[in-house]
């Protein structure tokens, strides 16, 4: 019995040392797609260009919406004052009701910058990106490289 206890303790210790979940220990947390540095850089550039005061001041959290056209330029933007603290992409479609919900026409996502990461306040950016025509790439490709 002591051998089994020792073996179990060693396995548990090894499992805790592994930096990612083991295949047989499934997490109940939904997997979020990894956002690339280029994606976060595009969101940061849009914030700095269209809402520079948010980058310099503020407290609590702010929610910003961006929609790009098919050439990667900002088509629409808005800042919401009474948005929920953890908004989803549905917020984008409620604010801009004429946007198509078809994922083959528009990609959507949420990018969060914690307080101090880009400005003093937590910044939540809900974005929609129209599919590029051909290989045209504009400065605000929020879906990231390779998507």
Q: What is the pLDDT of residues 35-62, one digit of tens each?
A: 457 778 888 999 999 999 888 887 788 9
Q: Across the beta sheet with 74-80, what order do the strands follow?
A: 74-80, 61-68, 122-130, 106-113
What are the structural domain ranges in the chain?
37-130
pTM score: 0.68
3-class DSSP assignment, residue 129:
strand
> DSSP assignment, residue 36?
P
Spell out, as residue ranges, where the chain has pLDDT lower than 70: 1, 4, 7-36, 133-136, 144-147
Spatial CA neighbour of 68 closest among 143, 135, 134: 143
């Amino acid at each position: 019995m002591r051998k089994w206890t020792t073996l179990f303790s060693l396995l548990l210790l090894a499992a805790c040392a592994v930096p990612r979940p083991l295949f047989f220990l499934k997490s109940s947390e939904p997997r979020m797609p990894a956002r690339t540095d280029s994606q976060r850089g595009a969101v940061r550039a849009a914030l700095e260009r269209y809402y520079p005061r948010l980058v310099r001041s503020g407290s609590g959290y702010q929610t910003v919406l961006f929609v790009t056209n098919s050439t990667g330029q900002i088509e629409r933007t808005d800042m919401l004052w009474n948005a929920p603290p953890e908004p989803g992409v549905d917020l984008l479609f409620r604010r801009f009701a004429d946007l198509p919900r078809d994922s083959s026409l528009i990609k959507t996502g949420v990018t969060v910058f914690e307080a101090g990461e880009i400005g003093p306040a937590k910044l939540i950016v809900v974005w929609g990106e129209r599919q590029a025509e051909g290989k045209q790439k504009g400065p605000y490709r929020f879906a990231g490289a390779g998507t």
